[in-house]
Amino acid sequence: MITKDVIDTFIDKIPPAPEALKKTISLLNAGELTQAAKVAESDLALKSYLKNIVNKPIYGFKNEVSDISQIFGILGLSESKKTVYNYMISLLSPSEWKLFQLNQKSFNELQAQLSKKWSIILDFLNINDKDIDSSISLLPSSIIVSDALFSNKIDDVKLLRSTKAIDYNTILNRLCGVDLFDICEKISIKWEMSDKVAHIIQASSGVKPAKDKDINLLGKWMHLLLFYELSKAQFVEAGLNDFIDFQVEYVSEIYEEFSTLMEVS
């Protein structure tokens, strides 16, 4: 149904980061917020995305923020870099979703919620690392990958899920020997993201713990965050509640801590 050739073709079609985005990220890595904003200002689509994201209610700004320099200044280095990566992921999202009941607005909302709460988690853990902060931006790409790979076989996939009650990630893994998180790692490599990003994403699957205990801990928090967001009504209705299998034992040691943090955030 879905061969490795199909997956390779999908990966090949993913465009590398445009030069303007590469330069923006490079400047953000160097701490050059002002210069990064000037480069970002030249990309009208990126500018529109940044304005749309930062003015969402979750960020809590009373007045609309439209100037890119001001947006980057408010967000800071880590959050600005993460938001630019979110934009790159959004470029992969389909104009019309086939498997999940999503649209550009709801997908961007998922990105914003994941990003904001990941920042809250990292603050709680006293972690200040731009690469680790950016790692959450890659997670929604697994949803895009799933929709794209299964789009031509939706009826078969739904039938398989109804008879065996298994998640999309398990289906892909059984068919091809690779899962959605393996594909996300390939995307991170293609976009020249830090190795740490790939390791955290793999650990967040819940079935491939990292050897590094710190990376593994971050994978647990990310695994819980994904399920926390996908359990919300709008994403349950979109069909994302059974996206991957929730690994209860993997996250049991931090579950109460996570729940408390989400309640007060």
Please check whether residue 190 lies inside any domain of the structure. Answer: yes
pLDDT reading at 121 higher than 90? yes
| DSSP secondary structure letters along 19-44 | HHHHHHHHHHHTT-HHHHHHHHHT-H
Please check whether residue 30 lies inside any domain of the structure. Answer: no
In angstroms, the CA 22 to CA 18 distance is: 6
pLDDT reading at 165 higher than 80? no
Longest CA pairwise span in the chain (Å): 55
What average pLDDT does the segment 234-258 reach? 92
Within a 10 A sphere around the Cβ of 3, how many other Cβ atoms? 10
The percent of residues in the chain predicted with pLDDT above 90, rounded, is 42
Q: What is the pLDDT of residues 36-67, one digit of tens each?
A: 999 998 888 888 888 888 888 877 777 788 88
Residue 224's H or E segment, with its range, is helix 213-230
Contact 9, 55 (CB under 8 A): no
Contact 128, 122 (CB under 8 A): yes
Please check whether residue 214 lies inside any domain of the structure. Answer: yes
The token pair at 196 is 């740490």
pLDDT confidence of residue 100:
92
**What is the 8-class DSSP label of residue 16?**
P
Where does residue 4 rank: exposed (0-12), middle (13-18), buried (19+ CB within 10 A)?
A: exposed
In angstroms, the CA 208 to CA 198 distance is: 12
Most confident option among 92-101, 169-178, 239-248, 252-261? 252-261
pLDDT confidence of residue 1:
65
Please check whether residue 133 lies inside any domain of the structure. Answer: yes
Please check whether residue 46 lies inside any domain of the structure. Answer: no
Total tally of structural domains belonging to the chain: 1
Please check whether residue 54 lies inside any domain of the structure. Answer: no
Please check whether residue 194 lies inside any domain of the structure. Answer: yes
pLDDT reading at 152 higher than 70? yes
CA-angle at 253, arms to 252 and 256, nearest 5°: 80
Please check whether residue 144 lies inside any domain of the structure. Answer: yes
- CA-derived radius of gyration, the chain: 18
Within a 10 A sphere around the Cβ of 222, how many other Cβ atoms? 23
pLDDT band at 219 (very low <50, low <70, confident <90, very high): very high
What average pLDDT does the segment 83-103 reach? 90
Answer with the residue of higher pLDDT: 99 or 54: 99
Which domain, by its residues, includes 115? 4-17+95-264
User: 3-class DSSP state for residue 203?
Assistant: helix
